[in-house]
Amino acid sequence: MIRMENVHKAFGDNRVLRGLTLEIPQGTSMVIIGGSGTGKSVALKCILGLIEPDSGQIIVDGKAAGSGDRDAFLARFGMLFQGGALFDSLPVWQNVAFRLLRGSLKRPVDEARAIAVEKLHRVGLKPEVADLFPAELSGGMQKRVGLARAIAAEPEIIFFDEPTTGLDPIMAGVINELIREIVVEMGATAMTITHDMSSVRAIADNVAMLHDGVIQWTGPVAEMDASGDPYLDQFIHGRAEGPIEAVR
Amino acid sequence: MNLLAPLALLGRSVLALLASVGRISLYMLDAISHIFRPPFYPRELLHALLNIGWLSLPVVGLTAIFTGGALALQIYSGGARFNAEAVVPQIVAIGMVRELGPVLVGLMIAARVTSSIAAEIATMKVTEQIDALVTLSTHPMKYLTAPRLLAALITVPALVGVGDVIGIAGGYMVATQNLGFNPVVYLENTVDFLEPLDIISSLVKGAAFGGIAALMGCYYGMNSGRGAQGVGRATKGSVEAAAVLILAANFVLTGVFFSV
């Protein structure tokens, strides 16, 4: 279980998180929605320790995030970045098997490559892709490779940052389905950040809406449409009118 | 207008400069410490050795040969004003080994390697590849900075050595082909005149300049701003800082080795 308690984070005068409290039960898929710049990515990066919160607590399975062995802590996570964040200088299979080629999870090269090819197959990519470089792939293929990398070491917790941004609706649907299948198959705890409501409906067990640095609403995805929360209603229906100020 | 405003501006600039010096110094100490602490990344080191050392050879060689040749011509024509044309071999050797070899190689490395390191790492930062490294349990300092710094510390002195030899060869070719020097006497004068300290100072300068070039590339890359403009600023800043620091370090090291 991941628990964020009263987490605050400011960048200069910009108070991004203003007491964020959120709980993600083990083995469930939480999707965080909210407008641009509301701190969704900051929240996610705070859990991973990429950003240090100013105050508040982040607890992962009963232990404070950042306490203890950092490598062991990070080894429990997989992450799909918004732009893929694939390493340009490495071929696809080495990107996927990155964690398996070095550090505490190191395996023999042949074994690491076999696992990479298997994970590529899992996300619908052929073995020939393994030897290409990221620059030779389309946006959708890069997302799939990023997804394969995120699951390569079979993590207990997987984060997805805007998994469908920049993809056409069909490819977005494919990625959403893949994420859902993989999360269920692995029994992983998942946390996704997205603006894409089709992703929310496809991926989420639970939804949390972040606004003004706090969780405005949270609950099961099935209750989202009938929440009665004016902020959530405005967001999911994409209305310009409502309590969330839209810049025009 | 407030009369103290210029002083306040000066104060802020000095404080900002000192803060930068502090940050870079801490970064340098951290980077050096990571060279000696596992895990090590031999493939990254090999790649950096190839990129910084081997692939810089053509530009270093061309720079050195033209500089050595031009130096011979300058010394000959300048020396002719007081009947000292014969000192061409000695001055080319001492000029190349003590000063021009290390400085020019350092500046060429700053132009070629510092800019490339800064642009590469800044792009990695902008595209979240650095964050990805961290989530994959890989310390960016160990994976990106330490191998490049170590490779520069190893290869740039070697490049300086090669540059010194090629520069002297450039002077030799011009002097023997155009200026009428006897080849054997030219080489004898060159070898006799150089002292071990000249060569040691040249190689030490090479190591220092290589370290500066790699560190500035890594530091500015890791601290780049967002977007294409951030990458551009990081690249420009890294080359400017490396060039200025190389020239400043050259002054200091020359003082250390040769002040009487």
**CA torsion through residues A210, A215, A221, A224, sign:** negative
pLDDT score, position B232: 95
pLDDT score, position B4: 86
Other Cβ atoms less than 10 A from the Cβ of B111: the count is 16
Does residue B36 carry a pLDDT above 90? yes
Q: Are A35 and A245 in contact, with CB atoms under 8 Å apart?
A: no
Q: Binning pLDDT at 50, 70 and 90, where does residue B75 land? A: very high
Q: What are phi and psi of A47, to 5 degrees?
A: -65, -40
Q: Where are the alpha helices (DSSP H) in A34-97?
A: 40-48, 70-74, 92-96
Q: Are B131 and B200 in contact, with CB atoms under 8 Å apart?
A: no
Average pLDDT for A37-64: 90
DSSP B25: H
Q: Binning pLDDT at 50, 70 and 90, where does residue A173 land? A: confident
pLDDT score, position A8: 94
Q: Binning pLDDT at 50, 70 and 90, where does residue A246 land? A: low
CB-CB under 8 Å, A45 with B135: no
Strand partners of residue A5: A57
pLDDT score, position A96: 95
**Residue contacts between A and B (CB atoms, under 8 Å):** 50
Residue B15 belongs to a domain: no
Q: Where are the alpha helices (DSSP H) in chain B?
A: 5-36, 42-48, 57-79, 88-94, 101-109, 115-126, 129-135, 140, 146-177, 183-193, 196-222, 227-258
Residue of A nearest to B47 (CA): A89
Sheet (strand A55-60) strand order: A14-24, A2-11, A55-60, A63-64
Does residue A248 carry a pLDDT above 70? no
Task: Round to whole Å and give the CA distance between B129 and A161.
Answer: 14
Instruction: Decide: helix, strand or coil at residue A24.
Output: strand
pTM over 0.90: no
CB environment B236-246: b (16+ within 10 A), e (fewer): ebbbebbbebb
Q: Are B109 and B209 in contact, with CB atoms under 8 Å apart?
A: yes
First to last CA, chain A: 40
Q: Binning pLDDT at 50, 70 and 90, where does residue A130 land? A: very high
Residue of B nearest to A70 (CA): B137
pLDDT score, position B237: 95
Q: What is the pLDDT of residues B206-223, one digit of tens each?
A: 999 999 999 999 999 999
Interface test with B, best of A69, A81, A95, A149 (most B CBs within 10 A): A81
Q: Binning pLDDT at 50, 70 and 90, where does residue B85 land? A: confident
Q: What is the pLDDT of residues B111-133, one digit of tens each?
A: 999 999 999 999 999 999 999 99
∠ Cα A199 A205 A208 (to 5°): 75
Q: Are A231 and A244 in contact, with CB atoms under 8 Å apart?
A: yes
Look at A92-101, B64-73, B81-90, B136-145 and tell me which has the smallest mean pLDDT. B81-90
Residue of B nearest to A77 (CA): B135
List chain A residues with CB under 8 Å of B128. 81-83, 85
Q: What is the pLDDT of residues A84-111, one digit of tens each?
A: 899 998 999 999 999 999 877 788 999 9
Q: Are B71 and B171 in contact, with CB atoms under 8 Å apart?
A: yes
pLDDT score, position A247: 53
CB-CB under 8 Å, B129 with A85: yes
Task: Round to whole Å and give the CA distance between B91 and B238.
Answer: 33
pLDDT score, position B126: 94
Task: Round to whole Å and give the CA distance between B233 and B235.
Answer: 5
Whether A87 contacts chain B with CB within 8 A: yes
A24-52+64-209 placed in CATH 3.30.70.920: no
Does residue B242 carry a pLDDT above 90? yes
Q: What is the pLDDT of residues B9-34, one digit of tens each?
A: 999 999 999 999 999 999 999 999 99
Q: Binning pLDDT at 50, 70 and 90, where does residue B102 land? A: very high
CB-CB under 8 Å, A102 with B128: no
Q: Please report, as a single letter, which amino acid is at residue A210.
A: L
CB-CB under 8 Å, B138 with A85: no
Q: Where are the alpha helices (DSSP H) in chain A?
A: 40-48, 70-74, 92-96, 109-122, 139-151, 169-186, 197-203, 230-237
Q: What is the pLDDT of residues A137-163, one digit of tens each?
A: 988 889 889 989 998 888 899 999 988
Look at residues B234, B37, B231, B23 and name the one whose alpha carbon lies nearest to residue B150: B37
Task: Round to whole Å and give the CA distance between A165 and A172.
Answer: 8
* Six-digit token string for A95: 């990107």
Task: Round to whole Å and give the CA distance between B59 and A76.
Answer: 46
DSSP B98: I
B131, B136, B138 member nearest A50 (Cβ):
B131
Average pLDDT for B79-92: 89
Which residues are CB-neighbours of A103 under 8 A, at least 6 positions away? A71, B39, B137, B138
Residue B37 belongs to a domain: no
Containing domain of residue B153, as a range? Answer: 47-255
Per CB distance under 8 Å, which residues of B are interface residues toward A? 39, 41, 47, 123-124, 127-129, 131-132, 134-138
Mean pLDDT of chain B: 94
Task: Round to whole Å and give the CA distance between A163 and B237.
Answer: 34
Average pLDDT for B43-53: 95
Look at A231-245, B63-77, B181-195 and tell me which has the smallest mean pLDDT. A231-245
How many residues comprise chain A? 248
List chain A residues with CB under 8 Å of B123. 88
Does residue B227 carry a pLDDT above 70? yes
Does residue A62 carry a pLDDT above 90? no
Q: Are A219 and A207 in contact, with CB atoms under 8 Å apart?
A: yes
Count of domains for chain B: 1
Residue B41 belongs to a domain: no
List chain A residues with CB under 8 Å of B127. 83, 85
Q: What are phi and psi of A30, to 5 degrees?
A: -100, 130
pLDDT score, position B260: 64
pLDDT score, position A70: 85
* Alpha-carbon gap: A89 to the closest alpha carbon of chain B (Å): 10
DSSP string, B189-247: HHHHH--HHHHHHHHHHHHHHHHHHHHHHHHHHHT--SHHHHHHHHHHHHHHHHHHHHH
Q: Binning pLDDT at 50, 70 and 90, where does residue B53 land? A: very high
Residue B123 belongs to a domain: yes
Average pLDDT for B227-237: 94
CB-CB under 8 Å, A45 with B136: no
Does residue B1 carry a pLDDT above 70? no
List chain B residues with CB under 8 Å of A85. 127-129, 131-132
Residue B223 belongs to a domain: yes
Residue B1 belongs to a domain: no
Whether A86 contacts chain B with CB within 8 A: yes
